[in-house]
Structure 1
Amino acid sequence: MKKKVKSTASRKSGRTTAAACRAVTLIPGDGVGPEVVGAALAVLEATGIKIEWDRQAAGMSAFRRFGTPVPDALIESLKRTRVALKGPLETRVAEGWRSINVHLRRTFDLYANVRPTMNFDGVHTPFNNVDLIVVRENTEDLYSGIEHEIAPGVVESIKVITARASRRIAKFAFEYARTHRRKSVTAIHKANIMKLSDGLFLKCARAVSESYKSIRYQEQIVDAACMRLVTQPESFDVLLLENLYGDIVSDLCAGLVGGLGLVPGANYGDKGAIFEAVHGTAPDIAGKGVANPIAMILSSAMMLDYLGIPAVGDKIRAATASVLRAGKVLTRDVGGKASTSEVTAAIVRAVSRG
């Protein structure tokens, strides 16, 4: 791993509340969710950290039990703990309920999605020296879900960009860069076409950048940025994006380093956070014991940073990196043949040795 990320949230954002309470909502999720969440729990237990888990259902598993994908008990738990470790949840394509991830982020105003993406020694890809932080605005844009049919065969989706949301995500990105000694922030946009909406996002990012003179501020059109990411990924540092671009570009970045099974994620607000792997439910391999648990394990390390115990998070990251570096116990998505439980056991052993 090229650079250790010691903390993925601003120390100012919700830290006092989180550090004062080790109660955490646990959402196993759908598909491979229970398998990878179980792996993360095993690794956390190996560190000796004591957490009061409040297990709650969401998604398809909740719908089958309670007739709703978002039970009231889940919302009450999140209001109480303000912190969650969450497995992937099923969102049907072009039918069914709206994305539960989007619903939870908007309900609790978790406006900043952070995805650290970096190479690991032992995972072979065509790209080297990748060390990116994707900072994605989480509450508006086309994900506002404002859609209607104007006439038969004609549907309109409304893109919402506000100065308030743009300023606060830009500030989050620059604060992150300053706290973690990052050198640059690149705002990614399509303001050459969407001159008002993306133009407003850029104006806000530029205004915020004036307060952070020690950090280089750059801008790039999203399509050009995607090309540059797959030719010169080392030229980027912190990426600042609107919601839709952030969703797409973060998955592209994961592809640079070996796939979604290696990339953790977190959603931060001023009063809470949800930590999750960025991959989906993977129904084709659910229950087969072959899912890569590393993204969820690293997400749990980000959670420990937020809870005010980053040294333990660093211990998990170091153990995970050592297993990958050895290259002997890898799931098939990164070139190995190991099972979920075998990878988990290897990381647990590494944590215990450390």
Structure 2
Amino acid sequence: MNQLLIDLKNKLNPIVELIKDKNDVFYFDYPLHLNVGDLLIYHGTEQFFKDHKINVTLKRCEYDLDLEEVKAKITSNTTILLHGGGNFGDLYPQHQKIREEMVTHFPNNRIIVLPQTAYFKHEENLQKSAALFRSHSDCHLLARDERTANLFAQFSDHVYLSPDMAHQLYGTMETKQGTTGEQLYFLRKDIEASDVEKNILAQLPANSNVKDWEDILSTEDDVVLALSWRMGKMANKFGLSWLKDLCHQFWYAYTQRIVKRVAQVFLANDKVTTTRLHGHIFSCLLEIPNRVCDNSYGKNSSYAKLWTKKLDFVELDK
């Protein structure tokens, strides 16, 4: 076991102290999608609940979250946890809307936004969202980097630096053993891709091992996701709480298989070069030597400089 990675995992422990009652907790916006970075955060969060004996009584994703159901089940002592990640801001408005609704509709409940990286493309959106959050007196925001923490200071007086929830998975998965002579270039292809990816690709031989999450996912994954969406939406339409719970249990079990599959892809390589934050974090959890390159707004370097640069198998791109 790597002591630095154990220390990073332990840095998540203070979150427990923020929860008012470990038997009265709601967890919203878990990822019912196939961004594997989000799935790693999700499974780290679930591992955190398990390790700290936190009894989450309501878990909902964006497709089956119903404010009326929440209002019917919430107590004055309920702590609301909102999924962490890199989607705080105006690049992913559907997730920001959930957070803003919680802040608006539950002013008397403690709300904790699990470790996030924030980015707003438009200042107007930032100011509107900050004003909403400021109206809530008991909202606690965890930031994965210092830039986000500085931005969060406009949203709340309760701001904390914290590593990503995926670090809770350290020690639950196998780590790199032996060598294969292979190298993986794990590069973004989505909304946050930039010239960094183009520059890396331009320097690689034609037969290089280049992947993103979508290249590891299967047609079966897409079908299961589509069925899960339908099940969640139908459960929401008819107010079937039991079906929503079943949907979550099924999705959790299925995505455990995805995480294990992705781990095997990573472990087949001696080094990973990545522009994805969770390409870097996952490599660290598996103790695979890795080189971190930035995304379009500096998310990766700011994270690595704060949390992971001291690991002897991590290299920061200059």
Please give the TM-score of this superposition, normalised by the length of structure 2.
0.30
More relative contact order, 1 or 2 (CA 8 Å, 6+ apart): 1
